[in-house]
């Protein structure tokens, strides 16, 4: 039997710290939780010159940015229940993905119905032409 592959979601949690060499256990816990949900977790040092999200959104360190498909969504901190925020972000992404798939199926169904109607109308016109030509 083949082992099923994990599908990595296009969600990234970026942990921003003052010093990369000093990582506490809370950050490790959040990292493990993120990986358990199949999302990326990156730790980096604060840099307000290179990252505008650091400059504009961080009020204290350590901080966490969450991105969905490289689009910034939120900044949160250790004392704001980060696991819950991450879980909600994943659920929201999956719900949007599911709705998108439903919409695709509905659009395919509608296009199929329109195509069938168009074919039926063409056949009626061709049939009427043939009858008219006989008279």
Ordered per-residue pLDDT tens for the chain, 135 residues: 444 457 788 999 999 999 988 888 999 999 999 999 999 999 999 999 999 999 999 999 999 999 999 899 999 999 999 999 999 999 999 998 888 777 677 777 777 777 777 776 665 555 555 555 554
Report yes or no: 56 and 32 within 8 Å, Cβ to Cβ: no
pTM of the model: 0.70
Provide the pLDDT for residue 1.
45
Q: What is the DSSP letter of 79?
A: G
Sheet bearing 40-45, strands edge to edge: 40-45, 11-17, 63-68, 71-77
pLDDT of residue 124: 59
Per-domain boundaries in the chain: 11-91
CA 127 to chain centre: 50
Is the CB of residue 42 less than 8 Å from the CB of residue 53? no
- Would you identify the CATH topology of the domain 11-91? Glutaredoxin (3.40.30)
Specify the DSSP element, H or E, that contains 11.
strand 11-17
CA 44 distance to own-chain centroid: 22
Give the single-character DSSP code of 83.
H
């Amino acid at each position: 039997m083949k082992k099923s592959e994990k599908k990595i979601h296009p969600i990234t949690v970026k942990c921003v710290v003052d010093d990369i060499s000093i990582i506490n256990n809370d950050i490790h816990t959040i990292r493990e939780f993120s990986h358990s949900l199949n999302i990326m977790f990156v730790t980096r040092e604060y840099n307000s010159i290179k990252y505008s999200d650091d400059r504009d959104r961080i009020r204290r360190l350590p901080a966490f940015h969450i991105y969905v498909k490289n689009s910034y969504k939120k900044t949160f901190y250790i004392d704001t229940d980060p696991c819950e925020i991450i879980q909600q972000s994943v659920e929201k992404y999956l719900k949007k993905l599911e709705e998108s798939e439903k919409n695709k199926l509905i659009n395919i169904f509608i296009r199929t119905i329109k195509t069938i109607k168009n074919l039926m109308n063409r056949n009626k016109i061709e049939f009427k032409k043939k009858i008219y030509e006989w008279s």
